[in-house]
Amino acid sequence: MRLYWVILCLVYSASAVSDQKVYRWKDENGNWVYSDVPKKGSEKVKLSTNMLTMPATDTSILTPTQSTPTVSYQAKITAPSDQQTLRENSGSVYVNGLVTPRFANGFQVQLFLDGKATGPKQTTASFALRDVPRGEHKLQMKVFNDKGKLVAQSAVTTFFLHRASVLNR
């Protein structure tokens, strides 16, 4: 019984909405004024009861048919070169790398010396290492995307650092 009254109320309210009356008249400036309350000298406006419908949208055009191609990044240490000997008494080593293709916004590079990170990730592939002890060392550069995922890493580059020693004098 309750459902009957709910349906009856819905039908009545729908018919009341579709049976709205609109009146119009011209004001003292000659502009048309519309209202749902009649005024002396107003005329009733006949409203169309046509419902506007739109055709269904083809949603297949919204789904991508081809996935975006994955970009394969390459990382390379350009200086020092592999098996290069450096003579630097201060222990400073300048490392340059190359990432191809040019990495996207948000990508970061990190350098590893003998398997340990030399510092935090950065947005350039140029590094300055200080107080590197003499001897054989291995460098590797890693490239991370904006989500922190490893997308490329260079081959391990070995270099030898020679420093003067008081024992050699």
**pTM of structure:** 0.57
Residue 52 lies in a domain: no
Let me know whether 98 and 134 are in one domain. Answer: yes
The pLDDT profile of the chain, 169 residues, written as one tens digit per residue, is 677 666 666 655 555 555 678 888 888 888 888 888 888 888 888 877 666 677 777 777 666 666 666 778 899 999 999 999 999 888 899 999 999 888 777 899 999 999 999 999 999 899 999 999 999 999 999 999 888 899 999 999 999 999 887 665 5
Please state whether 122 falls in left (phi above 0), alpha (psi between -120 and 50) or beta: beta
Residue 125 lies in a domain: yes
Domain that holds residue 78: 74-163
Nearest residue to 159 via CA among 113, 127, 117: 113
Q: What is the pLDDT of residue 24?
A: 87
Q: Which CATH number belongs to the domain containing residue 118 in this structure? A: 2.60.40.10
Spatial separation of the C-alpha atoms in residues 109 and 143, rounded to whole Å: 5
Let me know whether 80 and 141 are in one domain. Answer: yes
Let me know whether 88 and 159 are in one domain. Answer: yes
Nearest residue to 126 via CA among 142, 111, 139: 111
Residue 11 lies in a domain: yes
Helix, coil or strand: residue 6 = helix
Nearest 5°: CA angle at 48, between 43 and 53? 155
Domain count, the chain: 2
- Residue 29: CB atoms within 10 Å: 6
For residue 19, give both structure tokens: 């049976």
